[in-house]
């Protein structure tokens, strides 16, 4: 009697367990893992444009420039257009700059043609900044007259002034006649009279004054030398 009831209960339990097992994955998916949602490939179910229309549009209208906040790299066609634009832009100013150069050359050519008509100015001679050097020795008028009288002879010779080691102070003046000056001798020309100074005595005689003195006992040339430090009593020798 109880067998049919037990069988019916077992049959009722089996579909319930199947329903529970089917509902468990749905609940775990709803709470545990994200559900998959499919999206259409083209929005609004619009098909892609035909290949001929896309090629005509790309040739007729260039691709848009990338926006400021856009992180995608530009396409190859955009890069080629950018390079062409950069190479073409510097060439335009050169053409514009060449036109003023051609116009500016015409006034210069006119000025060049006008300059030969004017008389060329004589170049001014630059003034030398070198000052005239003072003579190593001065001659008094009496000395000039006496030297001129000595030189006005059939066989004139030059007078050379030097110093010799002589006297109690060390140095004494020495005059001699020479036919030609030495390689390093100093020449003093005053009032048409030339006197030579020995190169070895130049340091001792420079700045002196040569004079001619006549008295009852003697006639001689005397020298007033500012370089003398000591001199003997007779005045024959000196020391510098």
The reply to whether 233 falls in a domain is yes
Q: What is the pLDDT of residue 202?
A: 83
161: how many CB neighbours lie within 10 A of its CB? 24
The reply to whether 46 falls in a domain is no
pTM above 0.75, yes or no: no
Q: What is the pLDDT of residue 164?
A: 85
C-alpha of 106 from chain center:
33
Q: What is the pLDDT of residue 203?
A: 82
The reply to whether 210 falls in a domain is yes
The reply to whether 49 falls in a domain is no
How far is residue 105 from each of residues 111, 217, 238, measured CA to CA in Å? 10, 91, 79
Distance separating the N- and C-terminal Cα atoms of the chain: 171
Q: Where in the sequence is the domain holding 215, given as residue range(s)?
A: 137-239
CATH of the domain at 213: 2.60.300.12
Q: Is 199 exposed, middle or buried (0-12, 13-18, 19+ CB in 10 A)?
A: middle
The reply to whether 41 falls in a domain is no
The reply to whether 17 falls in a domain is no
Q: What is the pLDDT of residue 86?
A: 67
Nearest alpha carbon to residue 197 among 225, 235, 219, 233: 225
Residue 199 and residue 186: Cα distance in Å, rounded?
A: 7
| Total structural domains within the chain | 1
Please list the rounded mean pLDDT of every run of 10 residues in the chain (240 residues): 64 55 48 58 62 51 58 60 63 46 48 53 66 72 88 82 80 85 85 86 84 86 82 71
The reply to whether 161 falls in a domain is yes
Q: What is the pLDDT of residue 128?
A: 60
The reply to whether 67 falls in a domain is no
Q: What is the pLDDT of residue 222?
A: 86
């Amino acid at each position: 009697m109880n067998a049919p009831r037990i069988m019916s209960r077992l049959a009722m339990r089996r579909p319930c367990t199947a329903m529970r097992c089917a509902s468990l994955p749905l609940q775990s998916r709803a709470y545990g893992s994200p559900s998959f949602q499919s999206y259409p490939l083209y929005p609004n179910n619009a098909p892609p444009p035909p290949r001929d229309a896309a090629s005509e549009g790309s040739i007729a209208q260039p691709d848009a420039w990338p926006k400021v906040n856009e992180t995608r790299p530009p396409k190859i066609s955009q890069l080629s257009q950018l390079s062409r634009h950069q190479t073409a832009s510097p060439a335009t100013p050169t053409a514009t700059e060449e036109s003023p150069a051609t116009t500016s050359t015409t006034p210069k050519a006119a000025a060049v043609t006008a300059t030969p008509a004017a008389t060329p100015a004589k170049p001014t001679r630059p003034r030398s900044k070198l000052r005239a050097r003072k003579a190593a020795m001065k001659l008094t008028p009496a000395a000039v007259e006496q030297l001129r009288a000595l030189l006005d002879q059939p066989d004139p010779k030059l007078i050379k002034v030097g110093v010799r080691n002589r006297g109690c102070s060390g140095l004494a003046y020495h005059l001699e006649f020479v036919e030609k000056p030495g390689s390093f001798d100093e020449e003093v020309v005053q009032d048409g009279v030339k006197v030579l100074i020995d190169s070895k005595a130049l340091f001792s005689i420079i700045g002196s004054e040569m004079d001619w003195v006549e008295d009852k006992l003697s006639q001689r040339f005397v020298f007033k030398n500012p370089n003398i430090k000591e001199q003997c009593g007779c005045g024959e020798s000196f020391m510098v």
